[in-house]
Amino acid sequence: MNQNRTNIRTRIALGSWALADPLWPGQRRNDSIQVIHSAIRLGIRNFDTARAYGNGQAEQLVGQQLKRFRHELNRDSYSISTKIMVPAEPSQTRTLIESSLRRLCTDYVDIVYLHWPSSKRNAAPVLDKLVELRAEGKIHAIGLSNFTARMIEELVRTYPIEWCQLPLSLLWRRALSDSIPLCKRLGMKTVSYGTFGFGLLSGKYRNSQDFTEGDWRKNIFCFKDPYRSTVSELVALLQEIGKRCNLAPHEVALKWVLDQPVDQVILGARTRSQLEQTMNAITNIDEIDIDVSKVNELSILLDNIVCSDVDNPFFHIW
């Protein structure tokens, strides 16, 4: 058995961005609640959220639903990760964390990530505050989310940063060549998100018009030249492989991610049935012989088309 897939469920985290953020229109609160309850019952014990997801709504949703299971789950039996942007004033850090704790209905957060770097704000004073909060037990570990390899290496020299969260999928593999090897060398743990290419690897969305108004994915790079033809070929190949193996296209993409050297994989789901289907695939994935070498080749081709100085699938410039 591939060592990366040993105890595979312990590597899974439930992501909450799509559960309570207007950038994902049409999401019903009841569906989001059912997703979290299903995750708990399916044995998922890692929950990822952020203050920025729905301006705290995702944190509140996750915290309230976990609290409902307090008689079945001890607090030390599951992990909560949240994130904060670099605030304008470092002194705001404590207030931000304490408000997150209230929404999450907990006395401590297992991991707090700085969510994005900023060219206008210095992360160092904020990390100083996070170190203080860690000493007080309000947070147990510090991480960086969406920071470049250069930034990670620089900050780790001074601060006790233990986790790094980064995008990783067949649509965006750039971290495999820089951030992930660096983190392994530095003894940091890595967490990947965007496993299903934000839904694009499902085969459901073939162009930007397939999304409803207000859905941020309408403007993602995949539907633009010179990327669209390679992305379309990649999705078609996932569908072909999936038919042979009795898997959905995004489940083939999931297998590829699980085979990569990351410690934890964040999965998103907008309905209970989506999550149950994915977790069922994970249970059986070791028993299915899937050759993903061709999709890997297309993924490399896509990565080569994207300009080398682009750091993230959102094409965000620091």
Asked whether residue 1 carries a pLDDT value surpassing 70, the answer given is no
Distances in whole angstroms, Cα of residue 129 to Cα of each of 72, 135, 173, 298: 34, 10, 32, 43
Confidence of residue 285 (pLDDT cuts 50, 70, 90): confident
Q: How far from 307 is each of 303, 310, 312, CA to CA, in Å? A: 8, 6, 11
pLDDT (0 to 100) of residue 6: 45
71-97 pLDDT, tens digit each: 999 999 999 999 999 999 999 999 999
Res. 8 pLDDT band, cuts 50 70 90:
confident
Q: Which residue bears the tokens 């004073």? A: 125
Whether pLDDT at 4 is above 50: no
CA distance 20 to 53: 7
The residue-averaged pLDDT of 122-141 equals 98
Alpha helices in the chain (DSSP H): 29-41, 57-68, 93-104, 123-135, 149-156, 179-186, 228-245, 249-258, 272-284, 293-305
Cα–Cα dist 276/42, whole Å: 8
Report the percentage of the chain scoring pLDDT > 70.
98
> What is the DSSP secondary structure assignment for residue 224, as one 8-state letter?
S
Q: Domains in the chain and their CATH numbers?
A: 3-305 (3.20.20.100)
- Mean of all residue pLDDT scores within the chain: 95
Average the pLDDT over 54-70 and give the result.
Answer: 98
Using alpha carbons, select from 307, 302, 308 the residue that is nearest to residue 227. 302
Pair 313, 172: CB distance under 8 Å: yes
Q: Kindly report, residue by residue over 189-218, the tens digit of the pLDDT.
A: 999 999 999 999 999 999 999 999 999 999
